[in-house]
Amino acid sequence: MIRLALRASLACLLVLGACSKNAEPTYQGWIEANLIFVSPDEYGRIETQPVREGDRVEPKTLLFTLDDDIQRAEVSEREASVQNAKQAFGRAQELLKKAAGTQKAYDEAEAALRSAQARLNSAQTKLARRKAFSPADGTVQQVYFRVGELVPAGRPVVAILPPGNMKVRFFVNEAVLPRIALDDTVNIQCDGCPGGLTARVSFIARTAEFTPPVIYSLEERNKLVFMVEALPQEPEALRVGQPVTVTVTPQERGKERPK
């Protein structure tokens, strides 16, 4: 009876060992995102802000406007300069036709008109850019400045998260690295997420993280990990910073490695 019990126990251990070897490796990771930061070209005070965190926006959706008194005044000044330059150019043109003026005076008047028009175009562009619009479709992830606050030039006011900019990041050890390739499909599992979520491997790091000394022992080699990123097929079902469990699908691991 004792021998039978020992044999049965050994058989169970072998079965469990075989199951653990055949089980698909899983990796712990999390969801990251590449945000789009919208900022003004010049400093200014926020006058309107029709969006808030969580709002869905489309391209060309108005995000915020800045006070534009100075820019409007500059446009008016440049418009007056253009009018004066046009009059000077018209007089130079008439004098040249009547042989009462010189070609040099005509060329100088034409150059002054072009310069005035260029300065007007620049001022009009600055005025138009006091309104900031969404550059892509996505969700307002963060608002850093509110109405009435003074924003420095280049400081982000709104952060937008397009769905395609979300990614799964996880790490694999050196031994498993050859089993993963670009465009492989991985399964994603997380608390509260629907089943069947997948992602496509889009990046595999060529440099190890937490690199040990140059001379590796077998124990040290096991500590080498490489970062892998994958693009979710259903990014709307995930949240930034959410921890996930990643599993490589069997059919993808055995495929030929890309050259």
Select from 143, 160, 177 the last residue of a domain. 160
What is the 8-class DSSP label of residue 130? T
Whether 44 is in a domain gets the answer yes
Whether 169 is in a domain gets the answer yes
Q: Is the pLDDT of residue 221 over 70?
A: no
Whether 258 is in a domain gets the answer no
Structure tokens at 91: 């007089």
Select from 112, 142, 160 the last residue of a domain. 160
Whether 14 is in a domain gets the answer no
Residue 187 sits in the same domain as residue 200: yes
What is the domain extent for residue 151?
37-160
Q: In what order do the strands lie in the sheet containing 138-143?
A: 36-38, 158-161, 138-143, 56-57
Mean pLDDT, the chain, whole residue set: 83
140-167 tens-digit pLDDT: 999 999 999 999 999 999 999 998 899 9
Whether 17 is in a domain gets the answer no
Q: pLDDT value at position 206?
A: 86
What is the 8-class DSSP label of residue 100? S
Question: How far is the C-alpha of 166 from the C-alpha of 231, rounded, in Å?
Answer: 7
Half-sphere exposure of 254 (CA within 13 A, CB side): 3
Closest CA to 231 of 138, 139, 180, 164: 164
pLDDT tier at 193, thresholds 50, 70, 90: confident
